[in-house]
Chains A and B, each alone.
Chain A
Amino acid sequence: MNTLKNTLDRADLHPSRTFQARVDGALARLPRRSGRGKAPFFRRRGPLIALACLLILAVALPVTLNRLRQSEMDKILPPGVYTAMTAGDPEPEADAEGTMSITAETEPPALEPDDVVAVDDLSARADLPQAWRNILLLGTDSRDMTKIGRSDTIIITSVNVGTGEIKFTSVMRDAVVELPRHGAQKINSATYFGGVELMMKTLNENLGMNITEFAVVNFEGLARMIDALGGIEADVTQAEMDVINRHIGEIAQFTMDQQAYLDNKAKLQLQSFGKSTLLTGIQAVTYARIRELDNDYARTDRQKAVLSGMFARVKRASLSQLMQMAASCWGQIATNVSMPDAVNLAQSALKGDGQIGSTKLPAKGTYTLEDRAGGSALWDVDYPENTQLLHAFIYGSRAP
């Protein structure tokens, strides 16, 4: 058949040998590129939103009963081991000169090789419903994401890949667990002795979980995300404004040096309060961490306010804002969730209606809060009972 296509085919327009050789040559000489492609992932808007929200939630939902001062912590942990990792509790420290009231950053002492717990099996349960993916979210105030130290916030995030439902379970960092080679320790020291892996293993063993994935974000990442979104709106009382301004230096240290903070102190501070007050990143993070005014429940409400403020912004954000957000906080996020996985996960999460369930463990009445060895902690936690409660919360039925 003498069609145009057949006729054109006779042009024999196929890559010549020379051409193929040049292509091969070019491919063989590609410069090395870092394994991490930020842009393509983050430019896909949906996944970005979901991942950002997950990470936001990781830091902004630290529901914990811990009211211990650092001095008390020092007593229960090996002396000197504890570092600025629990700077999570804004305490009035601002001095008259208005210098930054932050604990000097001290490196945790390097562990002796014998003290490091190597983890080669995460003890993940294999028989849990596959519809739910459980991911460990850790919040840290560490600047260096390769050194998480003790995690400030421990949250098990459960995403239903079918329905997009999300559930958060905050694990109180003062819950005492048995760690290999170190005996009874607060659970947040698991990351110190054996990294994120030991934390996942410990949670899996004590709560019958199947966690193999994690994401870690620090305050700088959270503050930058919020700034990239153009800030968030929240209802702020005068008392809250005062506390924010008193403690803003603690968060500011994560995004700028001391001189920059001092030079800009007045600008950084919150100037007004009331309904729908616009908060910058560091203001919002400081706000979410206030607890000296009232109690944990009020703090939880503030965290939720920051979250919903972020959700509202993310929904309205332009693509360029989201990209900026992704780029600005990338260095403050560490995760082992692969890109394709994150994409799938995020797409699942986006299917949901945005309703988020949350709980905290150990549950009331399943532990004793007492001073022992000179420090307060949650002792004698009934882990089998908490396992039952956790499974009921996530799966809607008690653990088999």
Chain B
Amino acid sequence: MQEPSKVIPMDRARAQETALAREAALGDQQAFAQLVRANEGALYRIAWAMLGSDADSCDAVQDAILRAWVSLPGLREPQWFRTWLIRILINECRQMLRRRKRTAPMPDAELGGPSGFSDEALDVRRAIRLLPEDQRMVTVLFYFDDFSVEMIARSLQMAEGTVKSRLHAARAKLKRILEVDEP
């Protein structure tokens, strides 16, 4: 079977994001806010994939936003703002996981958000949680945020081939758990 791959051309949205990133790097808070809000979904899902809990995700994202703002003048490639922001968030999440390990081991991460998820939603979430962390991250970026393999590779700092094999493994596992019989 062919590995999924998407090509996101340097389209207008991307060009706009790049322009905003440049402005933000120059100190434009509104441009930065616009960029962060545009990527809110991806930030949330990555934090959730790594931390599993809504409360921790909130903390991590909050720290990541501040850190991104502070280190924005060092942004080398504004066209890759999105993947850069996600890398910062990933680092925040890793720190949080380390701290968590040092203090008390958390019980199994809550799967839902604060409240009100259907059983089905919880089932799917649980299935995603069953994946190893790297497969989980690849999955959310690919399926929920429409990241190209290249962008995932940049975000997670792994080779594109690795992204593809992780995706492949994740798909197989998810299909088995969720009993999807997609060709």
Q: Using a CB–CB distance below 8 Å, which chain A residues touch chain B?
A: 2-5, 7-20, 22-23, 25-27, 29-31, 33-41, 43-44, 339-340
Contact = CB atoms under 8 A, between A and B. Distances in A.
Given A4-B178, A8-B128, A35-B26, A19 B73 contact: no
B117 A12 contact: yes
B178 A15 contact: no
A20 B62 contact: no
Contact of B139 (A8, A12, A37, A43): A8
A159 to B, nearest CB: 21
A12 B26 contact: no
B40 A23 contact: yes
A39 B74 contact: yes
A339 B76 contact: no
Contacts, number: 136
Contacts of A29: 66
Interface in B146-177: 171, 174-175
B118 to A, nearest CB: 7
B69 A33 contact: yes
B75 A40 contact: yes
Interface stretch (B8-16, B29-37, B96-104): B29-37
Nearest to A13: B45
Given A10-B120, A18-B114, A30-B65, 14 more contacts: A4-B171, A8-B139, A11-B121, A16-B44, A18-B55, A22-B62, A23-B65, A27-B33, A31-B69, A31-B70, A38-B73, A39-B75, A40-B75, A40-B78
A306 B128 CA distance: 62
9 contacts: A15-B44, A22-B58, A30-B29, A30-B69, A39-B25, A40-B73, A40-B74, A40-B75, A340-B22
B125 interface: yes
A43 B76 contact: yes
A3 B124 CA distance: 13
Interface string B44-65: 1100100000110111011001
Nearest to A6: B180
B70 A13 contact: no
Contact of A8 (B26, B57, B73, B124): B124
Contact of B143 (A4, A30, A31): A4
A30 B137 CA distance: 28
Contacts of A33: 27, 69-70, 72-73
Contacts of B108: none
Contacts of B117: 12
A388 to B, nearest CB: 40
Contacts of A44: 76
Given A2-B182, A4-B182, A18-B58, A37 B65 contact: no
Contacts of A7: 124, 174, 178, 180
Interface string B91-129: 000000000000000000000011001101100110010
Contacts of B72: 33, 37, 40
A35 B32 CA distance: 13
A13 B66 CA distance: 23
A18 B40 CA distance: 12
B54 A13 contact: no
A319 to B, nearest CB: 9
A353 to B, nearest CB: 27
A44 B78 CA distance: 10
A23 B128 contact: no
A14 B41 contact: yes
B181 interface: yes
Contacts of A16: 44, 54, 113-114
A44 B22 CA distance: 11
Contacts of B74: 39-40, 43
Nearest to B37: A23
Nearest to B126: A11
Nearest to B47: A19
B25 A19 contact: no
B150 to A, nearest CB: 19
Nearest to A2: B180
Nearest to B54: A16
A43 to B, nearest CB: 5
Given A27-B65, A36-B27, A19 B57 contact: yes
A339 B113 contact: no
A15 B76 CA distance: 28
A206 B161 CA distance: 63
Nearest to B42: A15
Given A8-B124, A10-B121, A23-B36, A37 B140 contact: no
A8 B44 contact: no
A13 B178 contact: no
A51 to B, nearest CB: 15
Nearest to B34: A27
A166 B40 CA distance: 45
B80 to A, nearest CB: 12
A339 B18 CA distance: 14
A20 B33 contact: no
A236 to B, nearest CB: 38
Nearest to B33: A27
B44 A13 contact: yes
Nearest to A40: B25
Contact of B181 (A2, A5, A43): A2
Contact of B54 (A9, A10, A18, A25): A18
